[in-house]
Amino acid sequence: MLPGRSLVRHYASLAEEQDYWDSAARWKRYLAASDDRLGGLNPPLGRHLTNIPLIMSYVPRLLPTYRESVIADDEESEYELAPVVYLKWHKMVYPGKKHPSIRKTTKVIKQLSSRDRREIYRISRMLPDEVVFHKSFQWTPEYSDLWASWLNSKELDLAIVFQ
According to the model, what pLDDT value does residue 163 have?
Answer: 73
Dihedral class, residue 77 (left if φ above 0, else alpha if ψ from -120 to 50, else beta)? beta
pLDDT values of the chain reduced to their tens digit, one per residue, 163 residues: 566 665 566 778 888 888 888 888 788 777 776 666 655 565 555 555 555 555 556 666 666 666 556 666 666 678 889 999 999 999 999 988 888 888 999 999 988 888 889 999 999 999 988 988 888 888 888 989 999 998 888 877 666 667 7
Dihedral class, residue 61 (left if φ above 0, else alpha if ψ from -120 to 50, else beta)? beta
Closest by CA to 84, choosing from 67, 66, 71, 100, is 100
pTM strictly above 0.75: no
According to the model, what pLDDT value does residue 120 have?
Answer: 92
- In the chain, where are the structural domains located? 14-61, 83-153
Give exposure, 12-35, as e/b (b: 16+ Cβ within 10 Å). eeeeeeeeeeeeebeebbeebeeb
According to the model, what pLDDT value does residue 11 have?
Answer: 79
According to the model, what pLDDT value does residue 39 have?
Answer: 59
